[in-house]
Amino acid sequence: MTTIVGVDFSGHRDDRNTWVARGRYDADRALLLDSVQPARRADLHDLLAALPTPAVAALDFPFGVPVGFTAHLSPKRRPERMPDVWKAVSDMTADEFLAGRDRFVADHGEVKRSGDMRHFPESYSPLHRANPNMLPMTFEGIGLLHRLHRELPRRWHVPPLEPTAPPARTVTLLELMPGAFLKALGLPYKGYKKGRRSQELRRKITGALAAASGIRLPNLNSVRMGCHASDDFLDAVVAAVGAARWAKDRDCFRHPQPDELALARLEGWIYVPIRASGAVGRSRSGSRGSSRQRIRNKDGNSEHGRTALVMKATPESRR
């Protein structure tokens, strides 16, 4: 049994738009969804710190920043791996981070991470500031990673960094973007968040998600209504399916090649599947751009009926 978490993360200052899907990937290769509900960032930290192991948590924010900006963050001691970046960012206030970003972008432009440029050409840079604004998500997400790593350094495996403990005792934290994951599965990845066809596309996604991912979802009906009502709710469920797919077969995901590994361990790496049964493998690239279209809406004022959409799977639905 592997504990599964999928997170649709928000860095917005009011801290009210993060959604978390929880479940268990069992010996029958099925993901049993236990709940999908909103959480504040502090609550997410506590949840991850207390997860039973082994566990896989898929989170949809950048785990790092472009290599040039890492040197800008810490010019005296250049970061070599993600934890160095996490500490450098966490030593700053949000205003200092934004000011540093503005100075860097004024000289170098809004550069992307190396892996994103190569495999996700439609993606936004973690330094993108407008429409959508990636900076709150980047800053708060990296701060969360630093806090977890500082407090429990041997609990986490953050690919492509090396594992710090045996798998049975670790929580894998996976950078996984729902839009990129959906594209890799051959499912709708544009237009399902907002727009005239959003409801239709969300129904298509939930209708095909199990077959396309190769993950059995025996109690998906217990959360289907929430998936159709809210794109944030759906993204948390999609992230959970991505985490289960990793638990089933991590080798089906695209991993950094030898010439990409050093930068990936510094900048972070978006994981998407590139081969598996079902529809996985139809596409070898994903779209961070499409998966990030929600930020403008999600970090605005709309609550998407969040209280009414909190759902927990019932025993009957698990049969």
Low-confidence ranges of the chain (pLDDT < 70): 275-319
Predicted confidence at residue 210, as pLDDT, reads 97
What distance lies between CA 201 and its chain's CA centroid? 21
Nearest CA to 128 out of 46, 40, 196, 65 is that of 65
Residue 241 near residue 272 (C-beta atoms within 8 A): no
Predicted confidence at residue 301, as pLDDT, reads 34
Predicted confidence at residue 187, as pLDDT, reads 97
Predicted confidence at residue 313, as pLDDT, reads 54
Predicted confidence at residue 16, as pLDDT, reads 87
Predicted confidence at residue 2, as pLDDT, reads 97
Domain boundaries, the chain: 2-318
Overall pTM > 0.85 = yes
Amino acid identity of residue 48, one-letter, is L
Predicted confidence at residue 295, as pLDDT, reads 33
Helix (H) or strand (E) holding 38: strand 31-39
* Strand positions, DSSP E, 51-194: 55-59, 156-157, 171-175
Residue 10 near residue 44 (C-beta atoms within 8 A): no
Predicted confidence at residue 23, as pLDDT, reads 98
Predicted confidence at residue 315, as pLDDT, reads 40
CA distance 252 to 263: 21
